[in-house]
Chain A
Amino acid sequence: MATTPLSKAAGHGGHHEVKFNHLFGNLLALMALMGITIWASYVNFGNSTINNLIALLIASVKACLVIWIFMGVKFATPLTRLWVAVGFIVFILMFGILGDYATRRFEPTAGWELNRPNGGGTALPREWPPAKRPEQGAENFRPRL
């Protein structure tokens, strides 16, 4: 019994043997991609964002290769694939946190309209009343947005 390969003993194809060449080819691809990453980080593309994007893109490709071949997701059941996907999806969801920081600079602020680089427009279209002072003590004298 112990000599039979497990896959045959179980007799159901619950797992798939990966070809050795497959694994080795994957290793070579990963190495090559690593080389490209290092090389690309020294190249001046004119804008560092391009460098960042390239680095992240290559890292993502490498991650996919590891997940797909080394971790055997290529041969996994749909259920396993679902759970592989869920983690990364929610991780990307978390980047919503950065939306706060991206939009903070557009917060409306009093009195800067004229000095703003975009020519005086604030984030929200606003009209201020003429210099006429409202009755003191009046509620809600401020114009609606």
Chain B
Amino acid sequence: MLTNTPFSPPSASNFAAEYDFVFFLLLGLTIFFSVVVGIAVIFFTVRYRQGSKADRSRPIYEDLRLETTWSVIPLLLGLVMFFLGAKVFVDMKVPPKDAQEIFIIGKQWMWHVQHSNGVRENNTLHVPVGKPVKLTMISQDVIHAFYIPAFRVQMHVVPGRYTSMWFTPTKAGKYHLFCSMYCGTQHSEMGGTVVAMEPKAWANWIANGGESVPPMTLEQAGQKLYNNISCNNCHGADDNLRAPSLYGIWGKQRKLSNGTSVVADETYIRESILRPHNRLSSGYGPTMPIYEGKITEQDIPKLLTYIKAIGTPGGVPASSPTSLDAAALNGTGGTMTPFASNAIQYQENLKKRLDATPTTRRGNPAVNAIAAQEEGRQ
């Protein structure tokens, strides 16, 4: 199709063809109507210019049939276009079950990526061709938007809530990654590259830790962190007096102490780690320590992955094919470095590596004060 013209962005995902069809259909409509209206205007202007000898007898001023015609035809065309567009949109909104989950954390002004096997990267995203990828995204400060033109996908990355999008890359190559929602001074430089790799190459890449050596898979790191920050002291295999068990809760409806209920999704669990007292599980008191300010946004995906693993009945084991780590794809098994000696060391290392471009919340004393106040409350 027209997608290979120099005026088009590369088409490199499963959405590109579906999307481009709607786009070019709309483009055709646009050109058609513009040309029809343009020609009519020029033709009438020339023919009925003042002083021309054209016949002006019996002019029409109202014509219900004509009005109805040109109301109904655009309406019908519009409905067709609406339907086609909505279909693409719904496709984009419904990720397949076996999608490889990757966590994206946006902050002023960089993207941080966490793969399920623990590989982290900044401002680049390596994805395998032919494999659905689901991005679970959150922002640590302001609203960003994750935009890959070649994949025709774009989604806001909102603070305080996980948003998601998915795609299946179809063509290997390097593509632009942009932050498309204005986010502050260096907005235009918040971006990087999406590298779509052949599955073999990708498996190699991720097994060798990408550009950094992965200490452990995301789930293992989550388990370690879970124990290190003492979640396991209270949240055991069964509900106890102090805390509800986290086994089997993922995606379940949870009764809250205030009578309402909520689905235990990423957003809720994140909220319960950071500010547990806001939404207490039914039957439990506000005894859990507040972790806001104590663990970083980058740590939360680890805990989430772990809680998801233990929270899904039948359990998705950490190295199962669905979580698609290196071992599953190239059949050799990834190399893991020894676990970090202790949690403090681990967190410090993490901080050093990840906060290469630290974000300061400038300007607003309120926010700093709220943070300080939260600390003071401990």
In the complex, A touching B (Cβ < 8 A): yes
Determine whether the beta carbon of B252 is less than 8 Å from that of A110.
no
Determine whether the beta carbon of B130 is less than 8 Å from that of A110.
no
Determine whether the beta carbon of A110 is less than 8 Å from that of B18.
no
A137 touches which one: B96, B129, B164 (CB < 8 A)? B129
- In the docked arrangement, what's the CA distance between A37 and B153, Å? 52
Binds A, one of B86-94, B114-122, B355-363: B86-94
Q: Which of B80-114 contact A (CB under 8 A)?
A: 87, 90-91, 93-97, 99
Determine whether the beta carbon of A137 is less than 8 Å from that of B170.
yes
Q: Which of B6-60 contact A (CB under 8 A)?
A: 14, 16-18
The answer to whether the Cβ of A107 comes within 8 Å of any Cβ in the partner chain is yes
Q: How far is the CB of B286 from the nearest CB of chain A, in Å?
A: 22
In the assembled complex, which residues on chain A have CB atoms less than 8 Å from the CB atom of B99?
Answer: 110
Determine whether the beta carbon of A111 is less than 8 Å from that of B97.
yes
- In the docked arrangement, what's the CA distance between A114 and B132, Å? 20
- In the docked arrangement, what's the CA distance between A110 and B97, Å? 5
Q: A115-B250, A115-B312 are in contact. Are A145 and B87 (CB under 8 A)?
A: yes
- In the docked arrangement, what's the CA distance between A110 and B316, Å? 14
B93 touches which one: A108, A116, A136 (CB < 8 A)? A108
Interface size on B, residues (CB 8 A): 32
- In the docked arrangement, what's the CA distance between A140 and B152, Å? 14
Q: A117-B253, A139-B170 are in contact. Are A110 and B91 (CB under 8 A)?
A: no
Determine whether the beta carbon of A142 is less than 8 Å from that of B17.
no
Nearest residue in A to B169 (C-beta to C-beta)? A137
Determine whether the beta carbon of A140 is less than 8 Å from that of B129.
no
The answer to whether the Cβ of B298 comes within 8 Å of any Cβ in the partner chain is no
Determine whether the beta carbon of B252 is less than 8 Å from that of A115.
yes
- In the docked arrangement, what's the CA distance between A105 and B312, Å? 19
- In the docked arrangement, what's the CA distance between A135 and B312, Å? 29
Nearest residue in A to B161 (C-beta to C-beta)? A104
The answer to whether the Cβ of B210 comes within 8 Å of any Cβ in the partner chain is no
- In the docked arrangement, what's the CA distance between A115 and B171, Å? 35
Determine whether the beta carbon of B252 is less than 8 Å from that of A117.
yes
- In the docked arrangement, what's the CA distance between A107 and B94, Å? 9
Nearest residue in A to B134 (C-beta to C-beta)? A110
- In the docked arrangement, what's the CA distance between A107 and B166, Å? 14
The answer to whether the Cβ of B192 comes within 8 Å of any Cβ in the partner chain is no
Determine whether the beta carbon of B96 is less than 8 Å from that of A110.
yes
- In the docked arrangement, what's the CA distance between A114 and B312, Å? 10
The answer to whether the Cβ of A24 comes within 8 Å of any Cβ in the partner chain is no
Nearest residue in A to B263 (C-beta to C-beta)? A105
Q: How far is the CB of A24 from the nearest CB of chain B, in Å?
A: 43
The answer to whether the Cβ of A85 comes within 8 Å of any Cβ in the partner chain is no
In the assembled complex, which residues on chain B have CB atoms less than 8 Å from the CB atom of A110?
Answer: 94-97, 99, 134, 166
In the assembled complex, which residues on chain B have CB atoms less than 8 Å from the CB atom of A117?
Answer: 252-253
Q: How far is the CB of A66 from the nearest CB of chain B, in Å?
A: 34
In the assembled complex, which residues on chain B have CB atoms less than 8 Å from the CB atom of A135?
Answer: 130
Determine whether the beta carbon of A115 is less than 8 Å from that of B313.
yes
Determine whether the beta carbon of B199 is less than 8 Å from that of A136.
yes
In the assembled complex, which residues on chain B have CB atoms less than 8 Å from the CB atom of A145?
Answer: 87, 90-91, 94
- In the docked arrangement, what's the CA distance between A145 and B14, Å? 15
Determine whether the beta carbon of B14 is less than 8 Å from that of A142.
yes
The answer to whether the Cβ of A126 comes within 8 Å of any Cβ in the partner chain is yes
The answer to whether the Cβ of A4 comes within 8 Å of any Cβ in the partner chain is no
The answer to whether the Cβ of A128 comes within 8 Å of any Cβ in the partner chain is yes
Nearest residue in A to B200 (C-beta to C-beta)? A136
- In the docked arrangement, what's the CA distance between A112 and B91, Å? 17
Determine whether the beta carbon of B96 is less than 8 Å from that of A128.
yes
Nearest residue in A to B264 (C-beta to C-beta)? A115
Determine whether the beta carbon of B90 is less than 8 Å from that of A124.
yes
A142 touches which one: B96, B129, B164 (CB < 8 A)? B96
Per-residue contact bits, chain B 151-186, to A (CB 8 Å; 1 contact, 0 not): 000000000000010101011000000000000000
5 nearest A-B residue pairs (beta carbon): A136-B130, A112-B251, A115-B251, A110-B95, A117-B253
Interface contacts beyond A108-B93, A139-B17, A145-B87: sample of 14 additional A-B pairs, CB < 8 Å, sorted by A: A109-B164, A109-B251, A110-B94, A110-B97, A113-B97, A134-B130, A136-B130, A137-B130, A138-B170, A139-B14, A140-B18, A141-B14, A141-B168, A142-B96
Task: Offer 22 A-B interface pairs, CB within 8 angstroms, sorted by A.
Answer: A107-B93, A108-B93, A108-B94, A109-B164, A109-B265, A111-B97, A111-B251, A112-B251, A115-B250, A115-B251, A116-B251, A117-B253, A124-B94, A128-B97, A136-B199, A137-B129, A137-B130, A137-B170, A140-B18, A142-B168, A145-B87, A145-B91
